[in-house]
Structure 1
Amino acid sequence: MKKTTYLAGLVLMSATAAMPAFAADDDCTLEINSNDAMQFDQTELSVPASCEEVTLTLHHTGSMPKSAMGHNWVLSTTDDMPEIATDGMSAGADNDYVKEDDDRIIAHTALIGGGESDTITFSTKDLDADGDYSFFCSFPGHIGVMKGTFSITE
């Protein structure tokens, strides 16, 4: 029994010693909350340039349904934001207020309501560390207050 416990301890220590190698993945994982007061809990998000992919989870901490207070998270260049939001209104709720196949959109989540979450993973290979990127909610009228900056840090 002691030999088994000793071996199990060695295995656990070996696994724990390897854990720091995964720390870079944590830098490439983001979470952001939205609520019934039409707010994101962060206005700045960034990832290191070493991230080839980013995983982002949007949480809706409120209780209102998505038909009344739905939120999504859309990433684009800052200059493209207003037109993407306008085109999204025409696309409608069934399309998450995102125009289908809009190549100006770098990434976006689904439209979610209170108590829901959505997770996406997107590539950063075409993003420039000097680029001017922003995120926003494209639900009609929300872009005015639900927006922030996204950056790639060196």
Structure 2
Amino acid sequence: MKINIFVLLIISTLSLEPYAAECDQIIEGNDALQFNSKAMTVSAGCETITVTLKHTGQLPANIMGHNWVLTKSSDFMPVAQAGGGAGLENDYVPQNDSRVIAYSKIIGGGETTTVSFSTADLSKSESYTFFCSFPGHYAIMQGSLSVID
């Protein structure tokens, strides 16, 4: 009986680990205009999501910069298009735009950046798109973010 309880405790502890891992996401962008993932999944149980973007290329930020921007999928295209006018000094993200849920700064080759944001306004029933807002990159560098139990 003691062994069964011990085994159940170990199994229940192990089953929590994937949910903890879903609160922290790592994604890479390169000089070929590619993210290494087209989809991210986060747990609804996370209070905060942290996304780490690694630029694995070599080109500088003003030539081939990348960032990570999150919007509702319905807001993706208008926000991405408005980003070009915001300029590099604003990370190609329209400032004070309520449609932008989270974004990282623009980085160049060999650099890493992190953005953390609250999940309070995320919904399991909503569709979300992440993308790079550097001009023209959003057409290729995009993916989906899903919220699960």
Q: TM-score range by the shorter chain?
A: 0.7 to 0.9
Aligned counterpart for 1:69 among listed residues 64, 69, 88: 64
Partner of 1:146: 141
Partner of 1:52: 47
How many residues are matched? 136
5+ residue gaps, structure 2, are: 1-12
In structure 2, what is the Cα distance between the partners aligned to 1:26 and 1:66?
29
1:1-154 map, 5 Å: 23=17, 24-154=19-149
Superposed CA RMSD in Å reads 1.6
Q: Which runs of 4+ in 1 moved over 3 A?
A: 19-25
In structure 2, what is the Cα distance between the partners aligned to 1:117 and 1:94?
18
Query: Could you tell me which amino acid in structure 2 is paired with residue 84 of structure 1?
Result: V
Report the identity percentage.
Answer: 45
Partner of 1:7: none
In structure 2, what is the Cα distance between the partners aligned to 1:21 and 1:53?
20
Partner of 2:8: none
With 56-65 and 44-53 compared, the bigger mean Cα shift is at: 44-53
In structure 2, what is the Cα distance between the partners aligned to 1:144 and 1:126?
26
Query: TM-score with structure 2 length normalisation?
Result: 0.87
Larger radius of gyration: 1
Question: What are the superposed Cα offsets for residues 56-91 of structure 1, whole Å, 9 maximum, x if unpaired?
Answer: 100000000011100000000111111111111110
Query: TM-score with structure 1 length normalisation?
Result: 0.84
5+ residue gaps, structure 1, are: 1-18
